[in-house]
Structure 1
Amino acid sequence: MKVENPEAVEALKRVFELELAGVVRFTHYALMARGPYRLPIVEFFNAQATESLTHAQRAGEIMTGLGGHPNMRIAPVEETGQHGIHDILEESYAHERRAIDAYRALLEIVEGKNLFLEEYARGMVATEEEHVMELAKMVRDFE
């Protein structure tokens, strides 16, 4: 099968790998959260992990629909080794910013060329921007 829009497929591979890294990251944070607010933080990070998996699956479905082949790897998961709530929220914020960049890169490739992919990328940028806004509000208590 011929790959349609190889540039978009490569951008989707990056999204796929980054979202899978989010599953690992957020699952780890849910396990490492501690302190008096642990229970709602664990719930939050478990939900983030589930959402990252859903996002990876969607990107993979689109990629394979275009004739692409998802990699069997994840993006690097940088970790400071600090597990205080503030630290993991800051790391989450940085991860979500990288996700925005990945979806914006896809948007640049498909804008004006493929309405479906353009709408998908725009919607995902908006979703990730909302996550960044939420994380920014959560971090404010620690400043």
Structure 2
Amino acid sequence: MTNTEIDNDAVIKVLNNILEAELAGVVRYTHYALMVVGYNRIPIVSWMRGQANESLLHANEAGEMITHLDGHPSLGIGPLLETHRHDIGAILRESLDHEASALAEYHRLLELVDGRSVLLEEYARRMIAQEEIHVGEVRKMLSKPSE
């Protein structure tokens, strides 16, 4: 393999991990939106549903990248473990863990394609930027105004 070739099998494996993580995000954020109660329910539910929709878009993008490489998109879904604590703080902490896990997969993808595929490199960088924004948003939501 020369410097400019990608390892298709490794890239497809990571893209399938991303696909599964994003599909888990659809389920996770949909579930969270249903579980939110309290005074701030409406804006938080709206944000959660937006995250679910965005996760579905991200899953579709990952699937398109897989088929672009002549791979087969997974029918699997990432882990859906939860604490079964449904206060907003617990939900957001679970969200933060999920976002960090997805971000790690996008970083793995970038490592595999950096300098080898402009398409996949740009895709990975764009997704890393979006996931970093999500992580930052959730951290801000978990912060108290006095901090």
Q: State TM-score, norm by structure 1.
A: 0.95
| Percent of residue pairs identical | 51
Deviations 1:66-111 (A, max 9, x none): 1111111101111000000011011001100001100000000001
More moved, 133-142 vs 108-117:
133-142
Q: How does 1:80-119 map to 2 (within 5 A)?
A: 80-119=83-122
What is the Cα-based RMSD across aligned positions, in Å? 1.3
Note if 1:49 corresponds to 2:52.
yes
For 2:113 and 2:16, locate their aligned partners in 1 and report how far apart those are by CA, in whole Å: 15
Q: What SS class does the counterpart of residue 144 from structure 2 fall into?
A: helix
**Aligned pair partner of 1:30 in 25, 29, 33:** 33
Name the counterpart of 1:14.
17
Deviating above 6 A after TM superposition, structure 1's stretches of 4 or more consecutive aligned residues are none
Question: How far does residue 141 in structure 1 lie from its aligned partner after superposition?
Answer: 2.5
User: Structure 1 residue aligned with 2:141, among 111, 114, 138?
Assistant: 138
- Equivalenced residues, count: 140
Which 5+ residue runs of structure 1 have no aligned equivalent?
none
1:54 Cα deviation from its structure 2 partner: 0.2
